[in-house]
Structure 1
Amino acid sequence: MKKALPFLVVLILLLGFFIGQNFTQKESGITTIIFNNDNKLSQIFDIIDSEYVDKADIDSIIERSIPKVLEELDPHSTYIPKDEVEEMTSDLQSSFSGIGIRFTIQEDTIDISEVIRGGPSEEAGVLAGDRIITINDSLFVGKDVCTNQAAMKKLKGPKGSFVKLGLQRFGEEELVEVKIRRDDIEVKSIETAYLLNGKWGYIMIERFAENTFAEFIKAMIELANQRAQGYIIDLRGNGGGYLGVALEMANQFLGEDEVIVYTEGANIKKEIERANGYGYFQDVPLVILVDETSASASEIMAGTIQDNDRGTVIGRRTFGKGLVQKQINLDDGSMMRLTIARYHTPSGRCIQKPYTKGDGESYAMDLIDRYNRGEFFSQDSIHQNEELIFKTKNGRTVYGGGGIMPDIFVASDTTHVNEYAKDIFTNRLIAQYTLNYCKANRQSMKKHQTYEELVTYLDRQPMLDGLISFARTKDIAPKGNEIAESKEVLTRSIYSNIIYHMLGMMEHIKFVNLKDSTVLKAVEILESGKAFPEIEG
């Protein structure tokens, strides 16, 4: 007799469709689930298991069905299989056990783009530009073998364990073999914080993770000690993370009882988060930078600064991800992230952009649609819903409808990006070219310790000519005046990539910010003393 199917993980997913579950034992935001198994879906699976003509792989059916169930709820409720949980959560943890490298996959091979300073790989002698050919004496190249997920599984492991790599290194005929002892690798949220123009503190926050607030306070204090007169918080490209971290950060800038955010849901009563008045930076000039990839916690941060008229938001309309999600650990080690409420800014705007249940494809295409409509290049292309008008603390008009529209719009800079440059960028030729260049010229460049020194060196090299020749080997050639038109944008991209490979993120961002139109606008606003929005009317 076949045993009755437990289906403890499947039935959980029918939260929006079936009655019979309840939540208990809440600990640290994680929920253990107990539910009534007496429902139609359970009966159906039991019957399939006992009556179907062929032997049915119920577990496999369940795994494939779960995502389809959640797709009917909203775009962000999601199921994470057991073997993907660690990868999905490691970015928001303060550390993980690994070998301390960053890599890309080029031509079906792992290219090491950065060796984390002080990490196990640096200690073992691994160099940026090395290519991983073997892992533990097994070949690890080829389209079917070398994937990001497979590489992470091979390279991560318990602290203290060893992994053996066979490295292809420029100038070496034989593989360079290294044995690396895995150790805790700190996952930083802030790699770039410096004094811009000698008086404006610039901080780029990549994510809202476990350690982000501590990193943020440290960076703010260090910049204050350097006599920063105001701050630029760069949230562009920041897809969010932990709500609590965003609340702690916003609290540093707001006065007592000022609303940071509130949440509402059908099964969740309205909860209002307010500042406690103990923030250290309540009076400093402040600018927040955002773009179309700023999402979730980034939008909460930008929205509360805007609605409280605490600072100026500059850039482009944010993504529009404003759904509160509960992380639910399932008994088999898999995980579900279930939407339980929506985020609203202090003025009442819902951050979440509209979506059609079950139509994940249209939702996924939204940014492309916005690009095609010209939203990234002209503020006039952005449709503001006149029925969703809200007021900030000082009476300024802001609009709902999804995402945060900045106070000052800055178009995406595509100056001098002609068809030739597009082909080069689309095919990622600059990344390949600069990685090869660093491999061949590392010895002559490693003595340069700042981006200024490295730029001086690169100015004496035929860098653009090298790229043009490399592109020709990939059947990409310029026409007419295309080289002259795209010379500046291609050269700066070459330089920024090499600076990143040789000197790391901070020097890379310092160089990029010299010509970054959004950063330049932020400096202009701070210099003019207009970081605090004025009262309307």
Structure 2
Amino acid sequence: MPLWMALCVAIGIIIGSFYTNHFAGNRLNIINSGSSRLNNLLHIIDDQYVDSVNINDLVEKALPQILAELDPHSVYISAKDVQTATDDLKGSFSGVGIEFVIRQDTIQVQNVIKNGPAEKVGILAGDKIVSIDGKPFVGKIVTDNEAKHRLKGPKNSKVRIGIRRYGSKTVKEIIVTRGDIPMRSISATYMLDSTTGYIRIKSFSEKTYAEMITALQHLNLDNAENLVIDLRDNTGGLLDVAVQMANEFLPKNKLIVYTEGRKSQRTDYRSNGKGSYQHIPLVVLINEGSASASEIFAGAMQDNDRATIVGRRSFGKGLVQQQIGFPDGSLIRLTIARYYTPSGRCIQKPFKPGENADYEQDLLARYQHGEFFSQDSIKHTGPAYHTSIGRTVYGGGGITPDIFVPEDTSDMTSYYKEAAMSGLILQYAFKYTDEHRKQLVQFKELKPLTNYLDGRNLVNDFVNYAQQNGLRKRNNLISKSRKLLEKYINSRIIYNILDEQAWIEYLNFKDPDIKAALKVFSTTGAFPKKK
């Protein structure tokens, strides 16, 4: 009996090897030989290289390079960066509850989250954080990632923060007990006029759908008859959340999106007919910064002729990533499928595997080509498709809006660009806020604060500040960009004193995309018609 069993095992091995080699195209052997070469290389380096080598560090550096050979969106995330990478999708994290900027190698508290841990212990906007847990935290070590790493932590854990308050030279140490900090993905909800509601969505996280329903209910109480959903510069997030949100606006059994890949069979996502906002006139705003889940939502609305899309062509990310974890806590986000809008178009813009430089420079190329300023400059790389009522739409590179709105550059000058890109405007706005905080905090609403700032002649004050910090005064250029400079300076002070919604409301005033959206409601009623 033992001899017969041994013979059966041997025959099984031979048959298995035959089928593997002949019917699987030797693929298993190829993978094994490839991985063996990698393992052998690492063993040889570890065993024979002239100097000692940290093999783990070598692998950490090699994994991103391997994934970069596939597509621009397959990425490796190290164990220490996983928490930060997943916080945005979860919609919350555990920390101290502040918004900060880094100025002159120092953390400066920009806003304190209401009812958060920092507010409860008396930390104020304008405070400078100079030490954490008894160790100085100033200088070149202060980066955005390092600051977040030190301030975030497990719920109920404690962190000792040393602050220097404006006008004081002494450092005060405050112990903060970390808590859950919500990250709101809807940054503004208000009425644009007496009949039109507005919702600004900046990401698609686990909590975005619930936030949207709450926002819609608030607008209902304000008697909103029309709706603008602003997805400009929304880089995306969770596909399922985009589907949930689109479902609210579509009648039953409408295709929202479908995904398909080499190893992933087609999966359709359809509306269930239970959405409460199937008939409200709708405009969706997009631009070149709208990507991924934003494009899923906009594409579903456009292909089903449910909304008018206004703005500029979106980013063009049509790849679906699956998150796969490793035992050490690191993970990869691997592209496993493409997603397609209801008309069948994949909006992924072209890319060459392993050549990400051109892909990353695509928006700059669009700008230089003139696409931001003229609809005729848009280059469609995919074939034409058709919506449910026969309107022509294109794939192969983002969602092209139904109504194109060019970027307004009439006040743009080289002086303004340098002032903005150097960070001088942000620095000045924070400095002005800090020095005048006692006067500014008296204003609790946007309009009175705006009126106050308009009378301060801040552009001239900024120009002097900028000159002292190396930006040469150029009177003709300053005169041309005066309104733009004033808008940027005022907006940042408003953000520092009030909140993100007030900042967005201020920027939306006279915004050309908003004007175009309101015009849609007064003409077509926001439901596209066949051309």
SS of corresponding position for 2:241: helix
Measured in 1, the distance between the counterparts of 2:29 and 2:264 equals: 18
**When you count helix as a share of all residues, which structure comes out higher?**
2
Label 1:18 to 1:443 Cα distance change in 2 as closer, same or farther (>3 A).
Answer: farther
Cα offset for 1:481? Answer: 2.0
Report the counterpart of residue 323 of structure 1 in structure 2: 319
Cα offset for 1:62? Answer: 1.3
SS of corresponding position for 2:90: coil
Label 1:130 to 1:394 Cα distance change in 2 as closer, same or farther (>3 A).
Answer: same
* Amino acid across the alignment from 2:102: I
Report the counterpart of residue 359 of structure 1 in structure 2: 355
SS of corresponding position for 2:181: strand
Tell whether 2:100 aligns with 1:64: no
Aligned 1:149-160 pairs, distance under 5 A: 149-160=145-156
SS of corresponding position for 2:478: helix
Conserved? CA contact 2:380–2:397, under 8 Å: no
Cα offset for 1:55? Answer: 4.5
RMSD: 1.9
Report the counterpart of residue 30 of structure 1 in structure 2: none
| Equivalent of 1:140 in 137, 140, 148 | 137
Report the counterpart of residue 298 of structure 1 in structure 2: 294
* Amino acid across the alignment from 1:195: M
Tell whether 2:126 aligns with 1:129: yes
Cα offset for 1:44? Answer: 3.9
Cα offset for 1:424? Answer: 0.8
Cα offset for 1:479? Answer: 2.4
Percent identity, please.
44
Cα offset for 1:52? Answer: 5.0
| Equivalent of 1:257 in 253, 257, 264 | 253
1:189-232 residue CA offsets vs partner (Å, 9 max, x unmatched): 11211111122110001110011110011111111121100110
Tell whether 2:451 aligns with 1:484: no
Report the counterpart of residue 466 of structure 1 in structure 2: 461
Conserved? CA contact 2:308–2:527, under 8 Å: yes
Report the counterpart of residue 212 of structure 2 in structure 1: 216
* Amino acid across the alignment from 1:403: G
Measured in 2, the distance between the counterparts of 1:461 and 1:355 equals: 49
Q: TM-score, normalised by structure 2?
A: 0.92
Report the counterpart of residue 177 of structure 1 in structure 2: 173
| Equivalent of 1:101 in 98, 103, 108 | 98
Cα offset for 1:340? Answer: 0.3
Report the counterpart of residue 76 of structure 1 in structure 2: 73
* Amino acid across the alignment from 1:275: S
Measured in 1, the distance between the counterparts of 2:331 and 2:83 equals: 10
1:108-161 residue CA offsets vs partner (Å, 9 max, x unmatched): 111211111111111122122222111122111111x10111111110112112
* Amino acid across the alignment from 1:201: G
Q: What runs of 5+ residues in structure 1 fail to find an aligned partner?
A: 1-16, 23-34
Report the counterpart of residue 276 of structure 2 in structure 1: 280
Label 1:480 to 1:467 Cα distance change in 2 as closer, same or farther (>3 A).
Answer: closer
Tell whether 2:408 aligns with 1:420: no
* Amino acid across the alignment from 1:421: Y
Label 1:44 to 1:422 Cα distance change in 2 as closer, same or farther (>3 A).
Answer: closer
Conserved? CA contact 2:343–2:387, under 8 Å: yes
SS of corresponding position for 1:60: helix
1:277-303 residue CA offsets vs partner (Å, 9 max, x unmatched): 111111110000111111100000000
Cα offset for 1:394? Answer: 0.7
Label 1:491 to 1:51 Cα distance change in 2 as closer, same or farther (>3 A).
Answer: closer
Report the counterpart of residue 198 of structure 1 in structure 2: 194
1:76-111 residue CA offsets vs partner (Å, 9 max, x unmatched): 000001111011111111321101011121121112
Measured in 1, the distance between the counterparts of 2:417 and 2:100 equals: 24
SS of corresponding position for 2:266: strand
| Equivalent of 2:440 in 441, 445, 456 | 445
Cα offset for 1:39? Answer: 4.2
Report the counterpart of residue 32 of structure 1 in structure 2: none
Cα offset for 1:528? Answer: 2.2
SS of corresponding position for 2:63: helix
SS of corresponding position for 1:269: coil
Report the counterpart of residue 111 of structure 1 in structure 2: 108
Measured in 2, the distance between the counterparts of 1:239 and 1:123 equals: 33
Cα offset for 1:175? Answer: 2.2
Cα offset for 1:376? Answer: 1.3
Q: What runs of 5+ residues in structure 2 fail to find an aligned partner?
A: 1-25
SS of corresponding position for 2:163: strand
Measured in 2, the distance between the counterparts of 1:518 and 1:46 equals: 59
Tell whether 2:87 aligns with 1:90: yes
SS of corresponding position for 2:336: strand
Cα offset for 1:494? Answer: 1.1
Tell whether 2:424 aligns with 1:457: no
SS of corresponding position for 1:510: helix
1:463-490 residue CA offsets vs partner (Å, 9 max, x unmatched): 1121011111122133242222111111
Label 1:47 to 1:509 Cα distance change in 2 as closer, same or farther (>3 A).
Answer: same
Measured in 2, the distance between the counterparts of 1:268 and 1:98 equals: 38
| Equivalent of 2:521 in 511, 523, 526 | 526
Conserved? CA contact 1:230–1:526, under 8 Å: yes
Tell whether 2:222 aligns with 1:229: no
Report the counterpart of residue 497 of structure 1 in structure 2: 492
1:353-398 residue CA offsets vs partner (Å, 9 max, x unmatched): 110000011111111111111111221221134x601001110011
Greater displacement, 130-139 / 504-513? 130-139
Cα offset for 1:352? Answer: 0.8
Say how many residue pairs are matched.
Answer: 506
Cα offset for 1:273? Answer: 0.9
SS of corresponding position for 2:198: strand
Cα offset for 1:419? Answer: 1.7
Conserved? CA contact 1:256–1:277, under 8 Å: yes
Label 1:75 to 1:20 Cα distance change in 2 as closer, same or farther (>3 A).
Answer: farther
Conserved? CA contact 1:49–1:56, under 8 Å: yes
Q: Which structure's CA Rg is the greater one?
A: 2
Conserved? CA contact 2:320–2:339, under 8 Å: yes
Report the counterpart of residue 8 of structure 1 in structure 2: none
